[in-house]
Amino acid sequence: MNGTLMAKETREVSDTLVRQLNRNEKVIAQLVAKVGESRPSLIYMIGRGSSDHAGVFAKYLFETTLGIPVCHAALSLSSIYNKALHLENALVFVISQSGGSNDIIAQTEMAKQAGAIVVGLINNEDAELRHIVDFFIPLSAGPELAVAATKSYIAALSALIHIAAKLSDNVQLFDDLRTAPKRLKEELEQPSLITIDAFASLERCVVLGRGFGYAIAREMALKIKEVCAIQAEAFSSAEFSHGPFALLNNPLSILNVLIYDESKQSHEDRLAIIKSSGGELMSTLKTAPDLHPAVQCLVIMQRFYLDIESISLALGMNPDSPEGLKKVTKTI
């Protein structure tokens, strides 16, 4: 049993999800009723860092289940350029662990004033932000003390899945989500998928996925930066096959995210070409092929967080408080 906060908090994800599913049932039913009346033509995601990456996941989730285009906030719009958007037909999600960053609050207030339906997926239940939004959906992850977000990110994903399942009336997706706490608990007993060997000699690294796999690859690349100080960048395997392919002219390690869904064949075909062109495969993260791809992401992320925490320690770093990082960074 590992002693860092990062490992401890990651191991709390299963319990978080049980709590969250119970707590959010009523407010999500209210949200579904409101969306049914208003029929938004756009979903607009507000977030930074890991919460922004939860927004990338939301794009694949809502676009594939609801067919509503999903747009990400450029946070400078309100706080720097002092501009507003026409968001009167939008369903806006603000995702935040702390609920305290100025740019997030400014952009949320802009959306509210524009007449959008504003939903807050917020972990810190004391945050002022919860009083700005129309629907407050608590992430229910409890205090998150490690600088690197773990359980709050997975909790944001599960709350989004809950909402998507109810909005699209997708019973299978909701059933898969309800099995997630059990599957997450079982996964804790499974062996690591990423080993220190690959990281010890690593010079340059990319994280490759496709579709839902790309959505979570973004968060993995950030975490590798945060707790290992290694410059990892995420790409869809299709996008990587264009310009970034030139990186293969030098040694390049690849962390592969494999989702069992319609993207699998195309992704594996691309990966075979990348490997035959010199890309060195470090590890393939994959699990739970029987579950909806969105729910696979929850289990994969938990595995990844545990593995990268061990690697950070093995590299002699402190995953709980990477040098130079604060838990809550306020930017405008």
**Closest distance to a second copy from the beta carbon of 189 (Å):** 29
From the centroid of its chain, how far is CA 331? 20
**Closest distance to a second copy from the beta carbon of 114 (Å):** 9
**159 vs 202 by CB, closer to a second copy:** 202
Give 167's contacts (C-beta < 8 A, 6+ positions apart).
Answer: 31, 32, 35, 65, 66
Integer Cα distance of 192 and 255 in angstroms: 14
**27 vs 71 by CB, closer to a second copy:** 71
> Taking CB under 8 A as the rule, does residue 46 contact a second copy?
no
**172 vs 331 by CB, closer to a second copy:** 331
> Taking CB under 8 A as the rule, does residue 210 contact a second copy?
yes
Among 143, 191, 316, 324, binds a second copy (CB under 8 A): 324
**48 vs 162 by CB, closer to a second copy:** 48
**194 vs 227 by CB, closer to a second copy:** 227
> Taking CB under 8 A as the rule, does residue 226 contact a second copy?
yes
Q: Is 3 helix (H, G, I), strand (E, B) or coil?
A: coil
Integer Cα distance of 255 and 297 in angstroms: 15
**67 vs 191 by CB, closer to a second copy:** 67
**48 vs 130 by CB, closer to a second copy:** 48
Tokens of 80: 């720097």
**Closest distance to a second copy from the beta carbon of 245 (Å):** 5
Among 48, 130, 286, 303, binds a second copy (CB under 8 A): 48
Element (H, E) at 269: helix 264-276
Going from the C-alpha of 46 to that of each of 60, 92, 182, 222, 269, the distances in angstroms are 15, 7, 30, 18, 34
Among 8, 112, 178, 204, binds a second copy (CB under 8 A): 204
CB 135 within 8 A of CB 310: no
> Taking CB under 8 A as the rule, does residue 276 contact a second copy?
no
Site for a second copy in 147-176 (CB under 8 A): 148
Site for a second copy in 56-95 (CB under 8 A): 59-60, 63-64, 67-72, 74-77, 80-87, 89-90
Which string of x and - marks every residue 231-270 that binds a second copy (by CB under 8 A)?
Answer: x-x--x-xx-xxxxxxxxxx-x--------xxx--x---x
CB 234 within 8 A of CB 217: yes
**Listed ranges 22-30, 126-134, 150-158, 317-325: which one lies at the site for a second copy (CB under 8 A):** 317-325
Dihedral sign, CA of 261, 262, 264, 267? negative
CB 177 within 8 A of CB 161: yes
**17 vs 157 by CB, closer to a second copy:** 157
# residues contacting a second copy (CB under 8 A): 73
Residue type, position 211, single letter: G
Tokens of 37: 């009346």
**Listed ranges 26-34, 131-139, 163-171, 225-233: which one lies at the site for a second copy (CB under 8 A):** 225-233
> Taking CB under 8 A as the rule, does residue 44 contact a second copy?
yes
**Closest distance to a second copy from the beta carbon of 111 (Å):** 10
> Taking CB under 8 A as the rule, does residue 143 contact a second copy?
no
Burial (0-12, 13-18, 19+ Cβ within 10 Å), 112? middle
Bridge partners, 205 (sequence order): 232, 253
What single string gives the DSSP state of each residue in 83-116? -----TTEEEEEEESSS--HHHHHHHHHHHHTT-
**62 vs 174 by CB, closer to a second copy:** 62
